[in-house]
Structures are given as structure tokens and as C-alpha cells.
Amino acid sequence: MEATAKYRPNIEITSDAEALASRAADLFVSTAREALSSRGAFYVALSGGRTPKLMFEKLAAHPAAQALLWQHVHVFWVDERYVPADSPDSNFRLAAESLLKRVPIPPDNVHRIPTEYEDICTAARSYEAILRSAFTLDEGRAPEFDLIVLGMGADGHTASLLPNCFAPFDTDQLACVVYVMDGRLNRITLTHPVLRAGKHLAVLVSGAEKAETLRKVLTGEPDEVRYPIHILWPVLDKVVWLVDRDAAAAIR
């Protein structure tokens, strides 16, 4: 891949997962302050996983985070496994226990992906309606989150956009269903246009098991089907990659 500005990711390498989480928490606070100061509200979409959990814990203990005007903060989710909200597999539960129960955010400002419907497609449509209402969106428009927190799996997936899952690329849908055929849990995820529309995106990558995939992602030609994280390549100027030393081992 040519080292053009279009394909030059903004990468910050931290010493370890704890330092990565602290840096991510600082980024959350600074982006929130900017949005609250400029327009009086902060809209953020969160992901699940080990590294975001560390970030949530850092935020909950962060004096500056505690001082945010949480009554003007609105929290959404990037994706969710189709499980009850109190399931150990729930991304909502992870954020609720690690962060949201420990800050003064009004319950009405917490917009989880609904998983109580019998039909998962109905749930996806319901989440889309939640997004359209919260952002006052006309048809054909995507919400512009102030911050979207993403991860990258060892297979190059992000959100619940999995390799070879063929989730819709050109779509007016804001949320779609991802059916997983190997016995794992089906999911609901934000779509490509929503992720690309975010004002700021942070990709958190931690662990030696992701090092080789990260090298391929950063040095190979973009292939959104094989490595769904490549959907971000058209908007790399809005993306910061927070990578710990283990995950960065193959790119230094």
C-alpha cells in the first residue's frame, strides 16, 4: 500500500493495556468537553470487550469524567449480542456495571440496543427508530456521533461486522442483523454509513494475538470483506488508533 495521506493511519502506541485504557479515557473526556462546550450535548457509541471495559473502569474513577455534565451525555452502543440485558455476554451490561452505574447519567440518556423482542429483525428496526428519534434524523441521513469507540478483533472485524459476513455496504439502514452460523450468538450492529459518519473514531487494539492481523490491516490493500476494519479507510483522517506495545509489535 502506498504511503499516501489517504492511507496513513494516526497511530498512538502505549506501553500496555492499562496505559491504553487511560489514554482512551482521556480522549473520551476531551471529546466530551469539546462537544458539550460547542453544542451543549455529547453523543457517544460504545463497544464491548476487554479493552473497552478497562477504559470504562478508568473513566468511572477519572475526576474529570465525574465532573462532566452527564445530564447532557447520550450513550449508545455500536453493537450487541442478542441476549438479555442482564446476560454476562451483554455489551450493555458491561458498560452499565463498569461505568454507567458509577456516574450521574440520567436513565433516559442511556439508549441500549433492545434485545427483548422475539424477532431480532424487529429489534434492529427498533434500534434504528431510537437513533432516528434521538438525532432527529430525516430518512436517508446517518447520525453523526461525537465519538465512536471501536475495537479490532484478531480476525480484523470491528463492531459486529465480521469477515465474509457480507453485511450491507451501501444501505440506508442504520442498524442491521448479523447472523452467525457457527453456534455463536447473533448480533445487531451499526452499519458502515453510521460508523463512517462519526466525527471522531477511536480504535482500541490490545494484545499480542492481534499483532500480525494489525500489520496486515495497516500494510495491505483495503479489503472490507476479509478485514472489515478497512471500512474506515475512506475516513482515516477522523480515526485515532490506540494500540498497546504487544499489538504493535509487528508494525514497528
Reported as a single tens digit per residue, the pLDDT across 197-242 is 999 999 999 999 999 999 999 999 999 999 999 999 999 999 999 9
Q: Name the percent of the chain lying above pLDDT 90.
A: 88
pLDDT at 128: 97
In 3-state terms, what secondary structure has residue 137?
Answer: coil
Query: Do the bridges between strand 201-205 and strand 147-151 make them parallel or antiparallel, or are there none, so unpaired?
Result: parallel
pLDDT tens digits for range 171-193: 889 999 998 866 678 999 999 99
Residue 155 is which amino acid? D
Q: Which amino acid is at 12?
A: E
* Cβ atoms of 240 and 201 closer than 8 Å: yes
pLDDT category at 3 given cuts 50, 70, 90 is very low
How many angstroms separate the CA atoms of 93 and 160, rounded? 17
Q: pLDDT grade, residue 2 (50/70/90)?
A: very low
Mean pLDDT on 156-162: 94
Report the distance separating Cα 252 and Cα 215, nearest Å: 9
Residue for cell digits 430518512?
139
- Whether the CB-CB separation of 185 and 89 falls below 8 Å is answered with yes
Q: Does domain 5-244 have CATH number 3.40.50.1360?
A: yes
The domains of the chain are located at 5-244
pLDDT of residue 164: 86
Q: So what's the pLDDT on residue 144?
A: 98
Q: What is the mean pLDDT of the chain?
A: 93
Give the pLDDT confidence score for residue 234 in this predicted structure.
96
- Asked whether the beta carbons of 132 and 204 are under 8 A apart, the reply is no
